[in-house]
Structure 1
């Protein structure tokens, strides 16, 4: 647990760990040169499991975490922030899971979002299966940082946190850890994740998005999904969320065909015949199909581009009901959002009927 001037929530955060139902642990708190009452609060806690480390000068979150990792003795390391709370069963649930799933190197959980006063705001859901998490990790962070537990040897093998990063240090580490083993999220709210004015996620969001994108591009290449930086950029254009730059129509349409090829390379990494893996792949392909079709709704696309997107969606999810059983009526509904081109401008309804009848995706042959 790193802390810098965290006197407001520190005692409550520490107490939520010390009262865990699982008791065989050491709690390492790294005081990053705090100038408030942080040191006094820690000195007032009488528990032999509490290990206090103090930085003489402020090193930052990543360097403080690395110092804690270097001093730790456990084979499993759970992360915790000085302004969040863990439910009493958190460590027991995660330790049990890691012991029964030796292939998993990183495990998080869902969370409850709370405000500065500890009042409920909303529940934070997360993907649970390794395959779905690994897909999400290609473009965004699938973990809540203070909810994770990881294997100490794996983290030390990949070099720990990068002290040169001011933000998104966790996402950078997850990308490297995912190359060492499997990932998971428990389907339980094991942490209470606080939102307040001084949170890093609120004050450095722009830089966090920039660093995350940079690390995403590198991870796409390192994981073998993308063959080069240009392919990484195209992948992120398809995966872009609301408000993000790099739209797919900034790229020549022939390049769009590289996206399903990258999707195939991703799934070739998983050959687990287990039922849960098959179901996870199914859900993942459905998500990718919806991601592709989402771009149809943009007003800047023409009909030819829309048709190509339907074809790409069929390629990434050939078994999906959304592509095999889509009707001309549903295609018309999507196309009505698109601007008319050339001679079709005079009769929108007729031109849509003609296009939909000629390009019914249920009859597509890829």
Structure 2
């Protein structure tokens, strides 16, 4: 039975107090109950640790060493600590759909997929649903296909713990640890992305500073790939590096021209009023305070 499968949820936390209670409620409100939550405080300077420690649930394991080691290192740590058969990724400012774990467990036990992801509803800082994002369907698992279509929506993924232990995150890949992992593993793995939105993915209104950091991290990662690759792959990475620079120029023009809204509409198509109403009900159920 699917309920026999234990899921380990990895949740690194850094200065996440603003949205952390909503995230934690959405995990506690899951219809699927056989899980453990591995919360790793990555040297937060706000009251994130106090929020985490206030949870009275034996399934929640809290780790705190006072250091700030970064997301990739903390993800690898959570994978090493995991006791479950499946590993689920989560971000501290996002919200799980109440049926996320149940649906993903069902998908994994009825297939031979290593990692699965889902689509997501995109929400703003006020929890308003602003659109829908699909993620890469991985019909093309080549490196070129990932460059063209992107990767999973990272906090939507669940997979087999053995796969994650065999394929750790690269701690050098700053703010692009996920795409680096898919590039490195897709051709030797089985990936699937479901179109059902099982995550409420939060997008900051001031996205530009993070976009800049991601861009520079991506360039650094591409340079390492160029250096480490064989002759057949090197040209592919060189072309992607050039394409990334060109895309950044275009995005800079859009941003400084005050046209960010156009970019957001391209990345996040709106949803119909009927779909939005159903999503709102699921969101309210996800973040509801649990009764003692």
Same fold (TM over 0.5): yes
| Displacement of 1:207 | 3.8
Note the residue ranges of structure 2 that are not aligned, 5 or more in a row. Answer: 1-10, 250-292
Counterpart in the other structure of 1:32: 42
Mapped partners of 1:218, 1:106: distance in 2: 25
Distance 1:197 1:29, change over 3 A: farther
1:120 equivalent among 116, 129, 135: 129
Mapped partners of 1:221, 1:92: distance in 2: 42
| Displacement of 1:93 | 1.0
Mapped partners of 1:107, 1:69: distance in 2: 16
Counterpart in the other structure of 1:244: 247
Mapped partners of 1:214, 1:39: distance in 2: 32
Counterpart in the other structure of 1:212: 218
Counterpart in the other structure of 1:153: 162
Aligned positions of 1:110-189 closer than 5 A: 110-131=119-140, 136-139=145-148, 141-158=150-167, 160-189=168-197
Q: For the pair shown, which has the larger CA radius of gyration, 1 or 2?
A: 1
Counterpart in the other structure of 2:234: 229
Is the contact between residue 75 and residue 152 of structure 1 (CA under 8 Å) also seen in structure 2?
Answer: yes
Aligned positions of 1:168-317 closer than 5 A: 168-196=176-204, 202-212=208-218, 215=221, 227-234=232-239, 240=243, 243-244=246-247
Counterpart in the other structure of 1:317: none
Mapped partners of 2:201, 2:246: distance in 1: 24
Mapped partners of 1:133, 1:117: distance in 2: 38
Structure 1 stretch displaced more, 212-221 or 55-64: 212-221
TM-score (norm 1): 0.58
Q: For 1:219-253, what per-residue CA distance to the aligned partner results, in whole angstroms no more than 9, with x for missing partners?
A: 799999x714234434676xx4895279xxxxxxx
Counterpart in the other structure of 1:78: 88
Mapped partners of 1:227, 1:165: distance in 2: 22
Distance 1:222 1:60, change over 3 A: closer
Structure 1 stretch displaced more, 126-135 or 185-194: 126-135
Mapped partners of 1:166, 1:49: distance in 2: 30
Counterpart in the other structure of 1:256: none
Query: Across the two proteins, how many residue pairs are aligned to each other?
Result: 239
2:114 equivalent among 105, 110, 118: 105
Note the residue ranges of structure 1 that are not aligned, 5 or more in a row. Answer: 247-366
Is the contact between residue 113 and residue 192 of structure 1 (CA under 8 Å) also seen in structure 2?
Answer: yes
| Displacement of 1:54 | 0.8
Counterpart in the other structure of 2:64: 54
Structure 1 stretch displaced more, 163-172 or 105-114: 163-172
Counterpart in the other structure of 1:42: 52
Mapped partners of 1:126, 1:233: distance in 2: 24
Mapped partners of 1:229, 1:148: distance in 2: 29
Mapped partners of 2:89, 2:131: distance in 1: 22
| Displacement of 1:131 | 2.7
Larger relative contact order, structure 1 or 2 (CA cutoff 8 Å, min sep 6): 2
Counterpart in the other structure of 1:276: none
Q: CA RMSD in A?
A: 2.9
Distance 1:181 1:217, change over 3 A: farther
